Amino acid sequence: MSAFSLAHLSDLHLGPLPAGSARRHFALKRTIGAINWRLNRHRAHSPAVAAAIAADIVAAAPDHVALTGDIVNVAAHDEFTAAGAWLDAFGKPDWISFVPGNHDTYVRMDWKHGLMHLAPYMQGDMKVGLAQSGPQIAAPFPYVRLRRNVALIGVSTAVPQPLHRAAGLLGPTQIESLAFLLSDLRERGYARVVMIHHPPLPGLAKPRKALLDATALRAVLEAQGAELVLHGHNHEHMLNSLNSRFGAVHVVGVPSASLIRSAHHPVAAWNLYRIQRQGGKWLTEVTVRCFDPVTRQVGHSTEFVLSS
């Protein structure tokens, strides 16, 4: 069987921020975030760069796409309408799997005004017995999509946070469900790819931006294994591994897919994974594709292989 190809991008932070969107539905954190966007962040995150990354992914024609959160900026109502239209132009919901990030739940708001616009990209095709939902994210998490011999498992760490905090939380329901799913899907012979916004292991993000129950998630990964865990949030190229009872678990993060300038983070990039079974192991060939601000083109940067 040929390798299954999976594109991974994250943290699009789509602009421009719709005019007046923060004023129309006032929340203090949203207003402060909107001011920060207009003063600073709009220079760093470029819609043209996001479009170039998306076009490069379409040209590569992967079997599936994983988008690991932060598609919007301050969770303004109009941002989600625009994000839904952007995703619709990018590809069909059965080709793109989305999990939300902290900017997608920047403030408390009803599902119908926010993430409902992205609902088709968060729907699984396998019944999950234990899942959670709520007024802000009515789509149940975890969800599972089965594609050939690969199982894509989406979890949500997106919960509204106080000012100056960007932490995430899975909660006991998702953690318990994930443990069962990882075991069940391993026994059924699937390569298991977990999609999450926040870095999933302790110490990978500053405390105010970290996954609050990363220790519990690490215990699940050590006990049940996974072939890949894909995340965003830190706007960095990241590669970490831990040992499980069933082999290495590779944890991979990508930069923001719209970043054109930053003193602290790399420019926009995405990863292409080619996953296949060889000699009783799962092998993943990783190709990193980066945006070049000089040529304004997306090109090949590096390659490496992961074995589980």
pLDDT mean values, one per 10 residues, the chain (308 residues): 94 86 72 82 91 98 98 95 97 98 95 97 95 95 97 97 94 98 97 98 97 98 98 98 96 97 90 94 97 92 92
Domains of the chain with bracketed CATH: 4-307 (3.60.21.10)
Nearest one of 220, 233, 96 to 161, comparing CA atoms = 233
pLDDT of residue 301: 85
pTM beyond 0.85, yes or no:
yes
Please tell me the predicted confidence (pLDDT) of residue 25: 65
**How many C-beta atoms surround the C-beta of residue 216 within 10 A?**
17
Peptide bond into 120 cis (omega under 30): no
Please give the pLDDT value at position 20. Answer: 65
The residue type of 202 is P
